[in-house]
Amino acid sequence: MAAFYGNFFNRSSDLCAFPAFPRDQGYVVEVAIDETITKPVVCLQAAILHSTCNGERRIRVLTMAIPTTTNAADVFASADQVALTTYLSARAVEKALSSSLDSARDAIINKLVEIFTAYKTNVLAANVGGSTPLQMAANLKSLPILCLGLLKNVLPFLYFG
C-alpha cells in the first residue's frame, strides 16, 4: 500500500486505526504494484479487526478479485469516474496541506491532462488527425465536470483536512 486517505490514525505503513465506520464516509487506499503481473486476476484482501458493543472481538475479511489486462482500452472502459475524483480530491488535500491551494488545483488539472493524454495516445492511436475531437470512454465523460467541481469548491479541501 503506497498511501491511505481518510479519517483515521495511521499506526504503521500497513496498519490503520479507525474510530468508527460511518456509512457516508469513504476511504482511499493507493496501491503500488512493483512487479509485472502475468496472472489473469489479482486478488486484494483487507482484514478489519473490530469490537462489538458487547466487547467481542471479530475479524471481517474483505476480498476483491480484479481482472488484469494489457489492453489500455479495457483499463479506461472499467475506470470509475467518481472513484477517480475521490482519489484526486484526497491527493489534492494532501498537496494543499503540504504546499498551497494553488498547487493542489494545478495537481488536479495536470492529472486530468495526463489521463486524457494517455487515453488519446493508447486508445485513439488510429485517429491521428489534429482536428479530430477527443472522444472519451462513456464511463469517463463526466470526469472533467467532476474535477471542475473540485477546482471551484473549497469544501473538499476542508472536509479531508
pLDDT at 26: 78
Q: How far apart are CA 19 and CA 36, in angstroms?
A: 36
pLDDT tens per residue, range 58-117: 898 999 999 999 888 888 989 999 999 989 988 888 888 898 888 989 999 999 999 988
Q: Measuring CA to CA, which residue among 91, 92, 66 is closest to residue 80?
A: 66
Measure CA 143 to chain center: 12
Task: Provide the domain count of the chain.
Answer: 2
Do 44 and 84 sit in the same domain of this protein?
A: no
Residue ranges making up the domain that contains 82: 69-161
Q: Measuring CA to CA, which residue among 123, 114, 116 is closest to residue 69?
A: 123
Do 106 and 120 sit in the same domain of this protein?
A: yes
Do 102 and 52 sit in the same domain of this protein?
A: no
Do 10 and 59 sit in the same domain of this protein?
A: yes
Cell 483499463, residue? 75
Cell 477527443, residue? 134
Q: How far apart are CA 13 and CA 131, in angstroms?
A: 47
What values do phi and psi take at 108, rounded to 5? -65, -45
Q: 143-152 and 101-122 helices cross at what angle (nearest 10)?
A: 170
The model's pTM? 0.77
